Amino acid sequence: MTPGLARAGAPAPVRAVHLGLGAFHRAHQAWYTAADETWGIAAYTFRNTELPRLLTRQGGVFSLLVREDAGDRVEPVGSITRAHPGADTRQWLADVASPEVALITLTVTEAAYTVPEPGADSAVSRLVAGLRARFHANAAPITLVPCDNLADNGDVLRAVLRKVCDESAFAEWVEDEVAIASTVVDRITPATTDRDVLRVHQLTGLRDLAPVVTEPFTEWLIAGSFPHGRPAWERAGARFVDDIGVYQQRKLWFLNAAHSLLAYTGLARGHATVAEAAGDPALGGLVESWWDTAAAYLPLSPAEVTGYQRRLRKRFAAPGIRHLLSQIAADGSHKIPVRLLPVLHRERARGRLPHSAVAGLAAWLAYLRGPEVRDARAAELVPLARAEKPARGVLAAIDPTLANDAELLTAIDTELRAF
């Protein structure tokens, strides 16, 4: 019988809690935390029950299959001490309330950072329930570390908490004792396939039920305070900075915006992955044009900008990373406003109409008109995209300040006819 992956020694004590257990967390925050063996993670997912079960069978240990140009390599990661399904509410409340726990990291997607409806079971409502349990149990300080692709993600989370924490004493404690960091995170984690599971077995001789595939590149920039302590993430390369804003813009406008452009235009041209779309000369040129436009508004040196572009080109072209365009295309209503529109607004203020932005928005409208739309606002946006004047309706829904820009709307509707 093939031996399964298992933990060699005792797990580290739980000192961190994670909300949103999935591939990205395991390739990113869990990987960084593994550099400090004194910190263990209690990880929770509210999307499935199978992953916590598989990880529990392996003692929380999993394989990271890193796809490099020179070949694949496997790293075991053992920082997850316990993995739980979201239904394990009692344990969630106990973990967040524990005085040993110093921080909560989150990977819950951009769409989750909103005020929930009364009684809704959402990431924010779960977080607030945990914080309330901590407040009533011991009121020890704690740091929240959002790791989703939102500009000023720490400020966004703080604003949401201020709206939902209405009990005066609890709200005051959240304001004074709950620190919230802001972050920039980056590492591509394509969906794991049966072939990947077999590859891990070929390289290690072990049977891993829950491996994660990733690229060699990884980045974590953090700004914030940790009054109750934190893992030594810098041992794995995390950087702590005073002002994270420029790095947020760099990633959102260069990496994430390029991904959205490639996703919508690439799907329209029959491509399936980032590597395929980036290798299409027309789409590669569109991305380069977008980067030229965005660079004018990024307060970084030309050398730093070109160096970042060079790394992105290499990552996009990597044949071993099958990054699906359909995965990137999901929830464009939350991604487009922070990836494309900030630069577009700046261009329109100067009287310019960048073709790359127009093409990207038109391709997104074409996606909304397609047969398989994955978006939290699909019920609202799909009918607007199929209306007589699609650009006006959709832009009015996501950014009303652009809805009266006749030149922009005409350009998008005209471009849409090409898809």
Helices 355-368 and 257-268: angle between axes, nearest 10 degrees: 60
Q: pLDDT means per 10 residues in the chain (419 residues)?
A: 78 97 96 98 91 95 94 96 95 97 95 87 94 94 94 94 93 97 94 94 95 95 96 98 91 96 97 96 97 94 94 89 91 94 97 98 98 95 95 97 96 94
What's residue 1's pLDDT? Answer: 52
Beta-sheet strands, E only, within 86-231? 103-106, 142-146, 178-180, 182-186, 212-214, 219-223
Which among 381, 410, 408 has a CA at the least distance from the CA of 394? 381
Q: For the chain, what is the mean pLDDT?
A: 94
What's residue 46's pLDDT? Answer: 83
Neighbours of 49 (CB within 10 A): 14
What's residue 149's pLDDT? Answer: 83
What's residue 333's pLDDT? Answer: 96
Beta sheet of 62-68, edge-to-edge order: 71-77, 62-68, 212-214
Please compute Rg for the chain using Cα positions. Answer: 22
402 vs 307, 345, 405, 406, 412, CA distance in Å? 33, 8, 5, 9, 12
CA 95 – CA 86 distance, rounded (Å): 13
Give a three-class secondary structure readout of 29-62: HHHHHCCCCCCEEEEEECCCCHHHHHHHHCCCCE
What's residue 268's pLDDT? Answer: 96
Its pTM stands at 0.85
Beta sheet of 14-19, edge-to-edge order: 80-85, 40-45, 14-19, 103-106, 142-146, 178-180
Q: Are 42 and 95 in contact (CB under 8 A)?
A: yes
Neighbours of 376 (CB within 10 A): 17
* Domains in the chain with CATH codes: 14-240 (3.40.50.720), 245-416 (1.10.1040.10)
